[in-house]
Amino acid sequence: MKIRSVVPFILHVPVTGSQIADSTHTITHWGVVGARIDTEDGLSGYGFTGTHAFLPGDHLVTRCIQTCYAPLLLGEDASDIQRLWLKLARDPALQWIGRAGITTLAHAAIDVALWDLKAKAAAVPLWKLLGGQVRDRVRAYNTDIGWLSIADDKLVEGARRAVAEGFSGIKIKVGSTVERDLRRLQAVRKAIGPDVTLAIDGNGKWDLPTCQRFCRAAEQYDVFWFEEPLWHDDVKGHAALARATSMPIALGEQLYTQDAFSEFFHQQAIHWVQPDVTRMAGLTEVLRVCETADSLRLPVAPHAGDMSQVHVHLSYAHPACKVLEYIPWIKDCFTEPAEVVDGFFRLPQQAGAGTTPTPEAWARFRRPAE
């Protein structure tokens, strides 16, 4: 498993419709910015991070992969995942310029590629390598029907359609105005009835007084969780909101390290834990967060199953993972897409982490890596 080459890549994949928006972002494409790691015995592992398909930013990540991390990896044994994680994360020169951000996104791509390689070398799907199947099914909830850019009537229509397709959970975006978001929440709850879980996601837009005002009025709609109500790093604010409302608080998709999660745990500012292998430094760091969450009896809902592919494997194998997000923009770019059937993610069967792009996606969506 000696590493022969590390090749960065970029895919720009269109989102559903021509454009989507939440409270803070409007995008047309999702960036799959990654690394292919080839070994001397002929295997290739793929891993990637996620971006808003902003090419100058994507190039910062691919340059980090190519010029900073590749030289540390060439000639190494790809199966030494923990040792290589430390080698990259604790490199004196690199940790000085970034213990979070571009270096971590690039590290995510590398770490996932190594897990993909290890599972391929063992000829098993990744969930088997992670300890095997711990649950029969992984429940999916649908976020793709709930963007802020969707008009009220279409939002209700999409929620009904998702339930008819078998989803037992949906999530809608909030963070515009309290009045508009309450109106939409009420309409969706009325349309789907009491038995479907309904979560909301603020994407860090509001301040604490706005969240408190919104929560007082929204509690009657049985909200499954309020995700990223406040700015991503605001531990004290989330702790204050958690004390002020009966709604569970969910967050984590924008946290880079286990230390960042630890602050939220210690301050009792989080109820649903949402790490992302494409944001943190890969599956290796996410597993540490899952273990800590499990020890605290906190449920994990990894961010977006199909936008990492890996989260499906993780959710089948880790006892802390309870439910997984569905946003199907990039799933068809992979040889084994993270498919949802009757509201549940299908158990992956192919060897690896599910991160191998198809030749069609490679040809259609690839952009210059530098």
Residues that bind Mg ion (CB under 5 A): 201
For Mg ion, the closer CB: 125 or 146: 146
Query: Do residues 272 and 225 lie in contact, with contact meaning Cβ atoms separated by under 8 Å?
Result: yes
Spatial separation of the C-alpha atoms in residues 241 and 249, rounded to whole Å: 8
173 a catalytic residue = yes
CA 224 and chain centroid, separation: 19
Q: Which amino acid, residue 111?
A: D
Express the helix, strand and coil content of the chain in percent, nearest 5 each: 40, 20, 40
Chain position whose Cβ is nearest to Mg ion:
201
Q: Which residue of the set 303, 311, 318, 331 is catalytic?
A: 303
For Mg ion, the closer CB: 3 or 172: 172
Considering the complex, what minimum distance in angstroms separates the CB of residue 276 from Mg ion? 9
For Mg ion, the closer CB: 19 or 67: 19
Cα torsion 109, 110, 111, 115: sign: positive
Considering the complex, what minimum distance in angstroms separates the CB of residue 187 from Mg ion? 21
Considering the complex, what minimum distance in angstroms separates the CB of residue 82 from Mg ion? 29
Q: Three-state SS for 236?
A: helix
Burial 277-289 (b: 16+ CB within 10 A, else e): bbbbbbbbbbbbb
Considering the complex, what minimum distance in angstroms separates the CB of residue 328 from Mg ion? 15
Q: Would you give the DSSP letter of residue 221?
A: G
SS3 of 262-297: HHHHHCCCCCEECCCCCCCCHHHHHHHHHHHHHHCC
For Mg ion, the closer CB: 45 or 252: 252
Q: Which residue of the set 59, 171, 173, 238 is catalytic?
A: 173
For Mg ion, the closer CB: 111 or 201: 201
Spatial separation of the C-alpha atoms in residues 38 and 92, rounded to whole Å: 26
Considering the complex, what minimum distance in angstroms separates the CB of residue 235 from Mg ion? 18
232 a catalytic residue = no
As annotated, the active-site residues are: 173, 303
